[in-house]
C-alpha cells in the first residue's frame, strides 16, 4: 500500500517521543537547515552514497521522518527496488508522503507507522536497513538494533547515521554554545517551540559515543562493525553486517 499506513499499536512512552515530533513536523526541514547551516544535507548524501545497496534492492529506512534518506535511496535501488519508510510518528510520515507526492515521487515507496523496537516484518526481509538521526530517540536502542539485524538478509548492511562525540578540542566550546544557546533560541524564534529544541540538544549529548555504539551493534549480533566520523565527530556513520 503506497498511501495507507499499516496500523501498528505503539506504547505510551513512544507516544511522548511521538508528540515532540508532531509539534515539530511542519517546521522540521527548515529547522534542520537552520541548525546545521545546511550541512545535514551533505551528511545524508554521504550516508546514502556510501551505502551497500544496488538496483533491485529492498530497503528499510527506519525513523524515516520526512523522507530525506528514502528520497536519496530511491535512485540507488532503481525501478525494480523498493523503499519502506518506517516511522513511529504519523505526522512526520504524512509530511514526508506529501513531500514525495509534490515531487512526483510516488512509485516504489511504502509508508509504515511502526516502532523500531518491534518491527512488523518477517526475518530476512531487507537488503539494507538505515536509520538516520533516529536511534537517539528510540527508548530501547538495543532492541531496535536487534530488530534491524533480524530483518536483514544474510550479507545485508545496517547503517546508522547519528550525532556522536566531537573529537576536536578547540571545537568543543563552540559546539556547546551552539547546542545549548543557539539551538533552543532558533527553536523559539522559528518554530515557537524552545522546549523541543532543548530536548533535541540534550538527546544528542545522551546518545552513546562512537565506541559504545559500535559495541552495542556487536552485542545485537552484527559482524564487521565499524564507524566513520563526519565533521570532527559531530556525527558518525556506524555500519554492521548480518553474516
Asked if 89 is part of the footprint of ligand SAM (rule: CB under 6 A), the reply reads: yes
Asked if 64 is part of the footprint of ligand SAM (rule: CB under 6 A), the reply reads: yes
- Of the candidates 31, 71, 92, 204, which one interacts with ligand SAM according to CB under 6 A? 92
Closest-CB residue for ligand SAM? Answer: 65
Q: In this chain, which stretch among 63-71, 119-127, 215-223, 228-236 interacts with ligand SAM, using CB under 6 A? A: 63-71
Spatial contact of 229 and 221, defined as CB atoms under 8 Å apart: no
Nearer to ligand SAM, 205 or 224 (CB): 205
Nearer to ligand SAM, 77 or 93 (CB): 93
Q: Between 194-206 and 183-191, two packed helices, what is the crossing angle to 10 degrees? A: 150
Least distance in angstroms from the C-beta of 243 to ligand SAM? 25
Nearer to ligand SAM, 224 or 228 (CB): 228
| 66 has binding-site annotation | yes
DSSP-assigned states of every residue in 125-184: -EEEEEEES-GGG-S-HHHHHHHHHHHEEEEEEEEEEEE-----GGGHHHHHHIIIIIHH
Asked if 138 is part of the footprint of ligand SAM (rule: CB under 6 A), the reply reads: yes
Rounded-to-integer distance, Cα 132 and Cα 185, Å: 24
Asked if 135 is part of the footprint of ligand SAM (rule: CB under 6 A), the reply reads: no
Q: In this chain, which stretch among 99-107, 127-135, 165-173, 201-209 interacts with ligand SAM, using CB under 6 A? A: 127-135
CA 191, distance to chain mean position in Å, is: 21
With contacts defined by CB under 6 A, how many residues of the chain interact with ligand SAM? 22
**How many C-alpha atoms does 3 have within 13 Å on its Cβ side?**
3
Name the nearest CA neighbour of 28 among 225, 214, 197: 197
Amino acid at each position: 500500500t503506497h498511501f495507507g499506513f499499516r496500523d501498528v499499536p505503539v506504547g505510551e512512552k513512544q507516544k511522548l517521543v511521538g508528540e515532540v515530533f508532531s509539534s515539530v513536523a511542519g517546521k522540521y526541514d527548515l529547522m534542520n537547515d537552520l541548525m546545521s547551516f545546511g550541512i545535514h544535507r551533505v551528511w545524508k548524501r554521504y550516508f546514502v552514497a556510501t551505502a551497500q545497496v544496488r538496483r533491485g534492492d529492498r530497503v528499510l529506512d527506519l525513523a524515516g521522518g520526512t523522507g530525506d534518506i528514502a528520497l536519496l535511496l530511491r535512485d540507488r535501488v532503481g525501478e525494480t527496488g523498493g523503499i519502506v519508510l518506517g516511522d513511529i510518528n504519523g505526522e512526520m510520515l504524512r509530511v514526508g508522503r506529501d513531500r514525495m507526492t509534490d515531487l512526483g515521487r510516488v512509485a516504489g515507496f511504502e509508508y509504515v507507522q511502526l516502532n523500531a523496537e518491534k518491527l512488523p516484518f518477517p526475518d530476512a526481509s531487507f537488503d539494507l536497513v538505515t536509520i538516520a538521526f533516529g536511534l537517539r530517540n528510540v527508548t530501547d536502542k538495543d532492541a531496535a538494533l536487534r530488530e534491524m539485524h533480524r530483518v536483514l538478509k544474510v550479507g545485508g548492511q545496517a547503517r546508522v547515521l547519528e550525532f556522536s562525540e566531537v573529537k576536536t578540542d578547540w571545537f568543543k566550546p563552540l559546539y556547546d554554545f551552539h547546542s545549548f544557546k543557539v539551538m533552543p533560541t532558533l527553536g523559539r524564534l522559528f518554530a515557537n517551540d524552545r522546549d523541543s529544541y532543548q530536548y533535541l540538544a540534550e538527546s544528542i549529548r545522551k546518545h552513546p559515543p562512537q565506541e559504545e555504539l559500535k559495541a552495542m551493534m556487536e552485542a545485537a549480533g552484527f559482524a564487521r562493525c565499524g564507524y566513520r566520523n563526519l565533521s570532527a565527530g559531530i556525527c558518525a556513520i556506524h555500519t554492521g553486517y548480518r553474516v
